[in-house]
Structure 1
């Protein structure tokens, strides 16, 4: 069995740094989860007019308006089969700002769309196409594409005017022996919306497929891609 990231990258997966390969090899039969602990050197947000958008994101653990430096951080990556039968990888990030904030996401690989789909938030209201590639430093780069909103009978694609394009790069620093991450979300009209940059180390947690912590699972599943 291979991970959703290896499916998306094909042979290019083996161009990744070996530690990045290990991180993104997780699948539901791996027998381990990856729990990262570290510090975000900087968390930032855009101009004041972007703040209402970020506050709305806090309702479903998507984005948040806080900013700061040297913020304690954890990231929980578990691979599991969700109740819809989909190979899924959690990206549950917790930032210990003055008010603790979570940023939840759940990734699958969609044969229909030919890419990874990232379901954002506790209720998976947002489905985002993700294109993955190998960065020059051997890291994994993820870039968001089309974004769709789903809630009950309501379904629509976000127009580009209201879409934030996210760029994520995660790589391994050989000198510091840690993982590094740089995230930036921007809108072509409004400019920078939100981002963070920092580093972390990973503990590999042994676990059976049925032992994924319930606290990291979404409260609602979305079947539509």
Structure 2
């Protein structure tokens, strides 16, 4: 058995930097949990009109409604089996903004139906996004978002590209600095840049620990 990320990458997994391979081997088979701690050099927003939408998403830990520089953060990647029997890995990012920390929550599964990793965003998994993984020539991991779907009760709707955010994530390992580097950029095809962040972190691994209390979503969605 391999991690959900190995399944998504296929042969590309072996092209990743060894430290990136270890981080994305986290899963039920490895039994490892990865906790990253570092600093976001910059958390940014696009034009002022996007801020109300970021605030709305922030109420369910989907988006980041604040911006800033040199913000301490943690990222917690813990594997578990969800209520529907799927191997799931948390991607919970906590940003220690002055006064009030903010969380950006995601849980990921591999969907055989869709042939990719599906990223459920927020505390209630209202938004499901297809993620496509590749390794670049330097051994960094590049993740690009695909189709977005909104789920709430009987509602099951594709989010139109006009209002959706296209995300590109690049995670690499800096051998000289002995740390991971990450950059996230979310844009809209019509309105331009929406938000993003850039920073670095180190990682610790533990074995045999279930996700801590409060890390799993409040509600789990069966539909991929």
Same fold judged by TM-score > 0.5?
A: yes
**Residue aligning to 1:203:** 204
1:177-188 → structure 2 map (5 Å cutoff): 177-188=178-189
CA distance in 2, matches of 1:48, 1:126: 23
Structure 2 stretches lacking a partner, 5+ long: none
| 1:161 partner SS | coil
**Residue aligning to 2:147:** 146
1:106 equivalent to 2:102? Answer no
Structure 1 stretches lacking a partner, 5+ long: none
Contact kept? 1:35, 1:203, Cα under 8 Å:
yes
**Residue aligning to 1:162:** 163
CA distance in 1, matches of 2:65, 2:104: 12
CA distance in 2, matches of 1:214, 1:65: 24
1:137 positional shift: 2.1
Contact kept? 1:135, 1:169, Cα under 8 Å:
no
**Residue aligning to 2:177:** 176
Contact kept? 2:60, 2:124, Cα under 8 Å:
yes
1:11 positional shift: 1.2
**Residue aligning to 1:52:** 52
**Residue aligning to 2:217:** 218
Query: What is the Cα-based RMSD across aligned positions, in Å?
Result: 0.9
| 2:214 partner SS | helix
CA distance in 1, matches of 2:140, 2:160: 30
Structure 1's consecutive aligned runs of 4 or more residues displaced over 4 angstroms after TM superposition are none
